[in-house]
Structure 1
Amino acid sequence: MAYQVLRKGRVIMSNFATYREAQRYVDQKTGFFGEPKHYYEIRKDGCYLTTACVDYMGLADDGVELTTLRAFRDHYLTDQPNGQRDIAHYYRIAPRLVDLIDHSPERTVYLERIYNQLVRPAIALIEAGENDKAYALYKSFTLQLEQDLLD
């Protein structure tokens, strides 16, 4: 499992192979002339969107797919009435879902479904300026994935 670095609650870098790599990154940003260490947090990267794009599809962590989705989260979703709540819920539940997917005999089916039924259509909607529809797709897909894996 990979690690990610958050700054003031927002993911700023992900896909570190080890905790030590993530810590080195934080150390470069902090220190005597840097920012306070308490601005930063390292956590296991339990993002099923990243898992589907990077681990399954072999795409870059900073490729167009994840960059588009992160910008959508940071510039659209955070400003929606329930956006902050939905983001917090994702970060709470996603690591568990990734773990269940990774240990499922249907791992490939889940990751292909996430990529083809959520990531690709959501990006198309975002690029078309249909952010409300992208948000609705994300919410309905995530709720269904939770039901499939947790029930």
Structure 2
Amino acid sequence: MNRKKFLKRASSGVFAAALLPILSFKKSKGVTLDKFISEHSYRVKNIKIYLTFTITKYFFENYENARKYIVLSAKDNNEISGEYDFVSKITKKRDGKDVFIIDCKFSSYKKTFKNEDIIYGFFGNRITLEIQDKKYAIITDSNGKKNYFKFLSTIVDNTDDGYYDDCFLTSACVAHKGFADDCKELTTLRNLRENIMKPDINYKNLISEYEEIAPKMLLNINRASNKGEILDSIYENLVLPSVSMVEAGDNIKAIEHYRDFVEEMKTLYL
């Protein structure tokens, strides 16, 4: 869509997004995201799914500074995911190679979300994650059952801080601003998505599109030399106004602001 034509639409989201910085690039060394997939399928409501997760090399090398959580996810017609916080990590040698043993605890606030409850039902409150870089992963659940994951692929992400998340809202609020993962902004927007948008079939396409384009936009933003400027703008002009609208009881206005802002972001960052 032509940007000037698009801006003719009267929307607070459009006018706010018109102030977004254009991408600026410089050479970056990049980091890798290793993706693992379950070797055996699971059945949810008679649908076969395979669970996946990604983890960065940066995490192993910079454990003290890295964001300590893992998201187990699967996709069929609906997204199924659950988040576990890392409690501790030790490194062992096996056949001369490093093996990382990580104790994890289910994120307590996730228990209010239906899809996350499914993952909680699979693995329980506490799990042990064992990873050998680019080889395999094993999740031992609360009952001692081992679930095997195989290394699937490596994704190159040219971030300068090793941070990765497929949501630019999370990136703006948590990684860039240094807020907690359960901060007011993220909790408010997650509740809007889970409790207002997901139950409404009218928002199905909007959510599906976002899940497809958000990772691509974030990768481009993270590659940019002015990443901080862009994330500041997203936080100030998208996140804060959307949260204010929800708090004022105007969920529909918040969704429309968000929708139009992201539409404009597509012209700049995809």
User: By the TM > 0.5 criterion, same fold?
Assistant: yes
Aligned pair 1:24/2:129, yes or no?
Answer: yes
Q: Which amino acid aligns with 2:263?
A: L
1:113 Cα deviation (Å)?
1.1
Relative contact order, higher structure (CA 8 A, sep 6+): 2
Aligned counterpart in structure 2 of residue 58 of structure 1, from 167, 178, 185 = 178
1:94 Cα deviation (Å)?
0.7
Aligned pair 1:149/2:269, yes or no?
Answer: yes
Equivalence for 2:194:
74
> Per the alignment, do residues 106 and 77 of structure 1 end up closer, same or farther by CA in structure 2, a change over 3 Å counting?
same
Percent identity of equivalent pairs: 30
Equivalence for 2:79:
9
Structure 2: distance between partners of 1:114 and 1:66: 13
Higher fraction of helix? 1
1:27 Cα deviation (Å)?
4.3
Counterpart secondary structure, 1:84: helix
Equivalence for 2:223:
103
Structure 1 segments (4+ residues) deviating >6 Å: none
1:108 Cα deviation (Å)?
1.3
Counterpart secondary structure, 2:179: coil
Aligned counterpart in structure 2 of residue 120 of structure 1, from 230, 240, 245 = 240
How far does the alpha carbon of each residue in 1:44-74 deviate from its partner, in whole angstroms, 9 at most, with x for none?
7311000000111110111111111111000
Equivalence for 2:115:
none
Say what the alpha-carbon RMSD is for the aligned residues.
3.2
How many residues of Structure 1 are paired with residues of Structure 2 in the alignment?
Answer: 140
Higher fraction of strand? 2
Larger Rg: 2
1:15 Cα deviation (Å)?
7.8
> Per the alignment, do residues 112 and 31 of structure 1 end up closer, same or farther by CA in structure 2, a change over 3 Å counting?
same
1:29 Cα deviation (Å)?
6.3
> Per the alignment, do residues 12 and 71 of structure 1 end up closer, same or farther by CA in structure 2, a change over 3 Å counting?
farther
> Per the alignment, do residues 112 and 129 of structure 1 end up closer, same or farther by CA in structure 2, a change over 3 Å counting?
same
> Per the alignment, do residues 105 and 14 of structure 1 end up closer, same or farther by CA in structure 2, a change over 3 Å counting?
farther
> Per the alignment, do residues 84 and 71 of structure 1 end up closer, same or farther by CA in structure 2, a change over 3 Å counting?
same
Structure 2: distance between partners of 1:54 and 1:27: 28
Aligned counterpart in structure 2 of residue 134 of structure 1, from 254, 257, 269 = 254
Query: Quick check: 1:4–1:14 contact (8 Å CA) kept in 2?
Result: yes
1:122 Cα deviation (Å)?
0.5
Structure 2: distance between partners of 1:14 and 1:52: 21
Structure 2: distance between partners of 1:30 and 1:86: 38
